[in-house]
Chains A and B, each alone.
Chain A
Amino acid sequence: MAKNREDEFIHAGGRNLLLLCLFSVIIATITTSVSVFIYYKSGNIYPDRSRPGYIAEGEKHDEADDNKENFSSDGEINAAALEEYKEQLKIVEERLNAAEDAFSSTPLSDETLGIGY
């Protein structure tokens, strides 16, 4: 009698453990799917360079050093302070001017794509 009860208990425990695993997998699948959907829908996927294999290791460029410009919000306002500001502004402006053709029509032109040629 006691042996039967013990067997039933073990059997129920095993079943519960199986259900727990099953539910965990279902919940994980749903939450992951929702996250990936939001990731795509928000558009964050497009500028995300951490996408596996998106940019080859050799092509990666650390831009951390390129963006050190920071003008303090404290201090006096005089010609010297504004000159300092202008110097920092110039650095960023030069980087923007270097990319003046960014998103130009050339890469999608018929000529570049080889359409009708």
Chain B
Amino acid sequence: MALSVPYTFAEGETESEQRMLESISQNCASIKLQLQRTQKEDSRMRVHLGAQYETLSTNLMQNLNIRLVRNNKSDPNLAEQQIAFASERDRFKDEFTSYSQELDKLIKIDCKTEPQKFRNKLMLVRSKRDGLYKTTQRLRTIVSTHHSTINTMIEGLNGKE
């Protein structure tokens, strides 16, 4: 049976680093619990956002562009937005997988005995999460631009009618 040996601090570590690592080691159980909760919530959010992105890309943007082409009214801006959205959606899927794999590894680290290793991995997971967050923001921006393009088209058509 493997014994869990508490972390002993190395010389050269600054006082604040030591405090940080000590805190990780002491609160290991509650930190892990919080990470597991985050993992569950992330999984739920991935499914929710994934469904919305799929609906937008396939049921709305793609169908609109097909309809425009069939009516010989294709719009390069809308076509570009569809491509950009699909590309970001794929990036979102890949980034989520990569982030989740690292989060999984983070949860498996024994933070009681290896707080430094845990801290390093936590930094990596944070940067992956940040990338994922930025991708969701870019997707929202594309949708917002798309909305504006549609408004402009409607105004143009209302002016002609």
Contact count band on B: 35 or more
Q: How many residues does chain A have at the interface if contact means C-beta atoms less than 8 Å apart? A: 49
A109 CB to closest chain B CB, in angstroms? 8
Q: Does A4 contact B (CB under 8 A)?
A: no
Given the known interface contacts A103-B132, A108-B129, the answer about A78 and B46 at a Cβ–Cβ threshold of 8 Å is no
Q: Per DSSP, are chain B's interface residues mostly helix, strand or loop, or mixed? A: helix
Q: Does B9 contact A (CB under 8 A)?
A: no
Contact across chains for B43 and A69 when beta carbons are under 8 A apart: no
Q: How far is the CA of A46 from the CA of B73 in the complex (A)?
A: 41
Given the known interface contacts A71-B64, A82-B157, A114-B30, the answer about A43 and B97 at a Cβ–Cβ threshold of 8 Å is yes
Q: Does A116 contact B (CB under 8 A)?
A: yes
Q: Does A72 contact B (CB under 8 A)?
A: yes
Question: Can you list 27 pairs linking A and B with CB atoms under 8 Å apart?
Answer: A43-B98, A46-B42, A55-B44, A63-B48, A63-B51, A69-B60, A70-B63, A71-B63, A71-B64, A75-B67, A76-B71, A88-B60, A89-B56, A89-B150, A92-B55, A93-B147, A95-B48, A96-B52, A99-B49, A102-B136, A104-B133, A108-B38, A112-B34, A114-B34, A115-B31, A116-B20, A117-B23
A interface residue numbers (CB < 8 A to B): 42-43, 46-49, 54-55, 63, 66-67, 69-79, 81-83, 85-86, 88-90, 92-93, 95-97, 99-100, 102-105, 107-108, 112-117
B interface residue numbers (CB < 8 A to A): 16, 19-20, 23-24, 27, 30-31, 34-35, 37-38, 40-52, 54-56, 59-60, 62-64, 66-68, 70-71, 73, 93, 96-98, 100-101, 122, 125-126, 129-130, 132-133, 136, 139-140, 143-144, 146-147, 150-151, 153-154, 157-158, 161
